Amino acid sequence: MRKLFINCDEATTICTKNQYKEASFIEKIQLGIHLLRCKICGLYSKQNTKLTEVCNKHLNKSKCEHLLTEKDKERIKEKLAEADK
Amino acid sequence: MPEVQQHTLDPNKWVDLHSDYLFNYTITRVDDEELAKDIVQETFFSGLKAMKNFRGQAAERTWLISILKRKIIDHYRKINSKKGKAEVKLNFYEDGDKKGTWIEERVPQTWDNEAETDIENEELKEAIGKCVENLPVKYRTVFLLKNVEQYETEEICNELGITASNLWVIIHRARHQLRKCLEDNWFTK
């Protein structure tokens, strides 16, 4: 049997899973019950949703490709040639 | 019988053909240029040593990537066993009667200017960017793989050799730190 009452640490973890839509049905119920009793986690939960919005809006895939410099490549080639001897 | 293409290896061309791809792949997972270079180089070394085991079933790059993945997992094993826990401030009591409840001075504060904050704001973009940069490297990497690269939980776990509960603890802590950072630098100035 999963417990009905969870602590704030567990509640905020579920809240985070929920931000990625990965909390299970039971976890959502546990979180719901906790939020009825805990104002602090309620505030956290609201701010966590805001954090998701901010991240979705402003953290984008970097479009720049990371490339090695020719110098780096030469160095790796030299080391490989040495190792191959 | 259909003809199966037999792949071959040519180590002399590895650096020219594959090093950029492997480097790019590595850097999104370790987030450190020097370290990524080392890992790519080690991958080629291991490839040389393991050439006799190559059966020609996979393409050269796929084969190298499979070696690289092991290297990245090894790296995570190493940093996981070292530190990690102490890097992020705890928000909850760890034991005793109060186990799992908020530590008073880490309780979230009301955000005064939340309502008037325009989400499009360029300065907000800068603020969140800085907060992410300040995360410890392990937290940052996992957080970015999940949030920005949008990998499935299972995929991240497989690639970094961590369990799902590990992953959620990391993301949970990363987000706690980000929330606090935004609070201090943006929402309650």
pLDDT tens-digit profile of A24-81? 999 999 999 999 999 999 999 999 999 999 999 888 766 567 788 999 999 999 988 8
CA dihedral B98, B104, B105, B109 (to 10 degrees): 130
Return mean pLDDT, chain B. 87
Using a CB-CB cut-off of 8 Å, the residues of chain B touching A56 are 147
Residue from A40, A2, B145 nearest A15 by CA: A40
pLDDT-derived band at B149, boundaries 50, 70, 90: confident
Q: Do A73 and B183 touch (CB under 8 A)?
A: no
- Residue B172, Cβ neighbours under 10 Å: how many? 21
Summarised one tens digit per residue, pLDDT across range B77-111 is: 887 766 555 566 788 998 888 999 999 988 999 99
How buried is residue B141: exposed, middle or buried, by Cβ count under 10 Å (0-12/13-18/19+)? buried
Here the ipTM equals: 0.81
| Those residues with Cβ within 8 angstroms of residue B3's Cβ, 6 or more apart along the chain or in another chain | none
Please answer yes or no on whether A43 and B172 come within 8 Å at the CB atom.
no
Interface-testing mutation among B35, B97, B102, with chain A (most A C-beta atoms within 10 A): B102
Rounded to whole angstroms, how far apart are CA atoms B46 and B48? 5
Question: Which pLDDT does position B4 carry in this prediction?
Answer: 66
Beta bridge partners of B102: B92
Please answer whether residues B174 and B139 qualify as being in contact, where contact means their C-beta atoms are separated by less than 8 angstroms.
yes
Chain B interface, best mutation among A18, A48, A55, by max B CB count within 10 A? A55
Q: Testing the interface with A: which of B28, B168, B169 to mutate, by most A Cβ within 10 A? A: B168
* Model confidence pLDDT, tens digit, residues B37-49: 999 999 999 999 9
On whether any CB of chain B is under 8 Å from the CB of A68, the answer is yes
CA-based nearest residue in chain B for residue A15: B172
**Predicted TM-score of the model (pTM):** 0.78
User: Which pLDDT score is estimated for B81?
Assistant: 67
Contact B129 A54 (CB under 8 A): no
Contact B178 A7 (CB under 8 A): no
Cβ B182 vs Cβ A54: under 8 Å: yes
Span B110-129, average pLDDT: 85
User: Minimum mean pLDDT among A76-85, B74-83, B149-158: which range?
Assistant: B74-83
Read off φ and ψ for residue B99, nearest 5 degrees: -45, 125
Predicted local confidence at residue B182, as pLDDT: 92
